[in-house]
Structure 1
Amino acid sequence: MDFLVREVRADEWERTREIRLAALRDPVAPIAFLDTYDAAVGRPDSFWRERAEGASASGAGAARQFVAEAADGRWLGTVSVLVERPTDEVRFGEVAVVDQTHVVGVYVRPEARGVGVIDALFRAAVEWSWSLSEPVVRRARLYVHEDNARAAAFYRRFGFVATGAKVAVPGDSGAYELEYEIPRP
């Protein structure tokens, strides 16, 4: 399968919305995302415009969204990366003790799984993290639901390691999100 990985553009909010809604309809969505289809579909266009703008190269620089785009223009998968600094408000998990990035919103359409799309998306996400000069990122991290064995296996294969930190899943005190990291080389 031919595809290229690139950053989203600010004007691609409708496509950003479409792939997010597709991700939230995936059978593993309840353990893969801290969001629901019903909540996302109800958000106004302004939310999606701001989201695409903020994660594009023309945005403020605190986030990037990457997409794998097929030769026919269809988006096959996506991943987003958020910059986290020790002085920032905590989004999820523990307070950052070093400048880091947080990988979120990982999704590959079922027909594009197993052909290298996820590897290419993660290479782009981690390379972008290491390319930052302000701040200089010391690690990239992510969280994975304790029951999402397939995702955890990929993260380990890619080089992420479990840190031992965990966070209760919001709204489900009996389940946990486990932190994985990959340190800057």
Structure 2
Amino acid sequence: MANGGGPFLAAAVIFLGLLLSLWGPRDASDSLQAKMDGKIQVVSLGGNVIIFCEFSSSDILPLDIRDIEIRWFLRSLNSDKEIKVFELYRGHQTAFRPGAKISMSRRRWGDASLYLSHIQIQERGEYRCEVIQFPRRAQGTIILDVVEHGNYAIFSGLIITVILFVLVGVIWFLHFRKVKPMLFLSLEPEYLIHKELKEFSFAISGF
């Protein structure tokens, strides 16, 4: 009986070794990586935005889109809780935020960028892009800052107005302190010549 269990034990050991080789650490060349476009992205209030997220895989491009899942999350700056913004699962898109979408054609080439329309102030925060190609997983984060364009325009207008006033003051100062005396000096010889000619003509008429 003891000898009869030997083949079963050997088969179990081989099967366990295969499982460990499949689920164990993978080589770097077989990894899945996600890359964001910087750390902070600034957009105008009410505008449209594309939050870039690219992923690379050891698989040959174009990728099989049925094997790839993409999820986008948002964590507000004043909260620790993440909310799901978008999900792509088994080829089906689900937008938890109206207008959220990704390019289905570019996903095959490693592009998981998120498109959002009419961005609002409350939507600023940390966005996380998660890409899953089972059993591999990659993610990246970026801070999205939303700027009120109207306030920025008013502030810029005030700065431009102040600069114009300063320039007008400088030109006025230079004109009346330097240009005017030079103008009077340049006219003085002509005035003297005109005066002499007038006196000379009056003397001739006296004869």
TM bucket by the smaller chain? under 0.3
Higher relative contact order (CA 8 A, sep 6+): 2
